[in-house]
Chain A
Amino acid sequence: MSSFLIRRLLQSVLLMFLLSFVTFSLMGWMPGDPLDVACAANPQCTPENVALMKAQMGLDKPITHRYFVWASSVITGDLGYSRTYRLPVGDILWPRFGNTLILGLLSFCLSLIVALPLGMIASLKPRSWADSVISFFSFMGISAPSFWIGLMLILIFSVQLGVLPAGGVETIGGASMGWFAMIGDRFAHLILPVLTLSLLTIAGWLRYVRSSMIEVLRMDFVRTARAKGLSQNQVNFRHAGRNALIPVVTVIGLSLPGILSGAVITESVFAYPGMGKLLYDSILNNDFNVAMCCFLISCVAVLVSSLVVDILYAVLDPRIRLS
């Protein structure tokens, strides 16, 4: 177990180095050089000035050199300086990361609460009307573009009915409303984004829960449990359900980073100031320092959750030995 952990951790660190180097080099191929852009705005700027500035900032050095300068400062906790926000990257990043985490965790919980019971109900009577309806909606959920669902929700609840806000995190001037009203206001702003983000995950998980449950219900131990005279609910949920959830854990765990990074689109639709929107905005604005950090955080999220899933899997299913 511990040797497995150490090996996986080493692999992850190596992968992060590789990934960050590749992304760092890719940034050189982004359209528009920040210095050229800054220079174009200033009529007194000559090509010699630009060359001098590039030399001062170390931009004339080879890419490997620049990468190591950047990487060593990131490791010491200095994430660099944002060009567009004129603030240290950390100051912008961490509040945004918190926003995304709230959005992601809320929709993660909502998806769990909805997907697990619905998937089990669908599996109990395959091809019944309940199963057909649930399966049809789960197909619809995995097929609909998430941003379109978001737009439709805005159209219905904000434009037509006018009951929920269409975007942002809080009403402007909301700080004067008092503590309780402010929480309510923030919550109202979260409803539509969380719904949008959850629909997709629910639809995806439903199918896994259903097919895993169907497989387990056919097994011998389930028949034994029924033969012993246990009640239907006990057999279905205690015996079959717990075993059916083992493979589902993988899917659920591996979709956590997807929920976080998939929020790029949901956040853009709802103008929600999270990390996904920050990544998108910073790429459009040539804000490389911010873009790099956002991207690497989503990569770290993937690596961490895949590690956690592997460990959880071994804990839940004693037949599996990590080696």
Chain B
Amino acid sequence: MSSLLLCLKQSRSFQRFLQHRFAVISVFVIAFFAILALGAPLWLELLGLDSRAQDVMSRYAGSSSEHLLGTDELGRDILARLISGSRISLGVAIFTAIASVIIGFVIGSLAGFFGGWIDSLLMRATDALLMLPLLPVLIVLSSLDFEKIPFVNHFIGGESSSIVKMIMIFVLFSWMQQARIVRGAVLQVKELEFVQAARALGRGNFGILTREIAPHTLSPLMVSATLSVGQSILFEAALSFLGLGVQPPNASWGNMLNNGLEALSVAPQLVILPGLMILFIVMSFNFLGDGLSEALDPKSSKGA
């Protein structure tokens, strides 16, 4: 373990990463939010808060010892909703990023490795999806009643169905960038000597893809996945803000903003706080992505 750390410390990429101050700060911000989100039920229990407990007698209350950040339109504690909202906002985005990397890798490597009609079919589909105006598409899809769709309706049901639905839609429209990156990397390396050497040694297509080519796609994939987490958080917030995303009583930062809209002049903190959360976390992911791309790709012109 210690030798691994030493190795990391000495690597040029890591040194370059450390020079990007904002990226380093972002790592800590992301870690903070990750801990907040992972342990959300625990923190709520420790603080003695409940994100769903309503108290209609004290709506839009200001800050007090009982409600540190005040209450919303149903008298629910804002701090508690912010904490449990982090779980949903981050969870949806990170799950989407992971799924998009997997799908993007499969599609991109199939297209790049086999070429021919498989390549043109897959890439035409990718380009067509990339061309769509994303926001209107997401609005149309998220307003569909998934219970009516055959097959998909097996996965939908219960209180968290709006969250599952959100993830499904995001995954459907998030893998294209990754697929293109992987395809490009595969095309770059597949004719190189080490791949031919692996083939001569008797490794099959699958082995070559996973053992020889996959490592070369790792760093661009990491960068684009990091950036896509930020994008997904923004889209989740936007859809939930429009009332099409995560449905109450589940709290997400986006639907908290939706609820706060009506009380903009009475209780501005209801709108300011969730928005700040989104701003901080998305900015951190963007800075992290920027830092990673500078560290992993020395040729990148950014920063000069």
Query: Could you tell me which A residues sit within 8 Å of B by CB distance?
Result: 15, 18-19, 23, 26, 28-32, 126-127, 136, 139-140, 142-148, 151-152, 154-155, 159, 211, 214-215, 218, 257-258, 261-262, 264-265, 268, 276, 279-280, 283-284, 291, 294-295, 298-299, 301-303, 306
Contacts and interface: CB of A to CB of B under 8 A. Distances in A.
16 contacts: A26-B141, A31-B148, A136-B22, A139-B283, A143-B283, A144-B278, A144-B279, A145-B237, A145-B275, A145-B278, A148-B257, A265-B135, A265-B242, A279-B139, A291-B140, A298-B133
A162 to B, nearest CB: 11
Contacts of A214: 301-302, 304
Residue among A148, A298, A306 with most chain B CB within 10 A: A148
B133 A148 contact: no
Contacts, number: 132
Contacts of B148: 28-29, 31
B37 to A, nearest CB: 18
What are the nearest 8 A-B pairs in CB distance? A148-B275, A31-B145, A143-B283, A143-B282, A261-B133, A298-B133, A126-B304, A29-B144
Given A26-B144, A280-B139, A291-B140, A148 B131 contact: no
Contacts of A152: 271-272, 275
B257 A264 contact: no
Given A29-B149, A151-B257, A159-B264, A143 B135 contact: no
Nearest to A23: B140
A265 B238 contact: yes
- Interface residue SS majority, chain A: helix
A283 B140 contact: yes
B126 interface: no
A211 B104 CA distance: 26
Given A151-B264, A279-B139, A268 B242 contact: yes
A26 B140 contact: yes
A269 B106 CA distance: 39
Given A28-B148, A143-B286, A147-B257, 16 more contacts: A19-B132, A29-B145, A29-B149, A126-B304, A139-B290, A144-B283, A145-B238, A145-B257, A145-B275, A151-B271, A152-B275, A211-B301, A214-B302, A264-B136, A265-B241, A295-B140
Nearest to B243: A284
Nearest to A146: B238
Contacts of B120: none
Contacts of A142: 286
A211 B131 CA distance: 24
B118 to A, nearest CB: 20
Interface string B230-243: 10001001100110
Nearest to A257: B133
Contacts of A31: 143-145, 148
Contacts of B237: 145, 147-148
B64 interface: no
Contacts of A257: 133
Given A155-B268, A265-B238, A139 B140 contact: no
B279 A145 contact: yes
B303 interface: yes
Nearest to B283: A143
B261 interface: yes
Nearest to B227: A142
A211 B133 contact: no
B129 to A, nearest CB: 11
A143 B136 contact: no
Contacts of B272: 152, 155
A99 B131 CA distance: 24
A215 B303 CA distance: 10
> Which one of B139, B146, B238 has the highest number of Cβ atoms from chain A below 10 Å of its Cβ?
B139
Nearest to A159: B265
A145 B234 contact: yes
A306 B130 CA distance: 12
A208 to B, nearest CB: 11
Nearest to A292: B140
B287 interface: yes
Interface string B140-157: 110111101100000000
B128 interface: yes
Contacts of B234: 143, 145
Contacts of B143: 30-31, 283-284
A214 B302 CA distance: 8
A24 to B, nearest CB: 11
A7 to B, nearest CB: 13
A145 B139 CA distance: 16
A299 B238 contact: no
Contact of B301 (A146, A148, A154, A215): A215
A139 B145 CA distance: 36
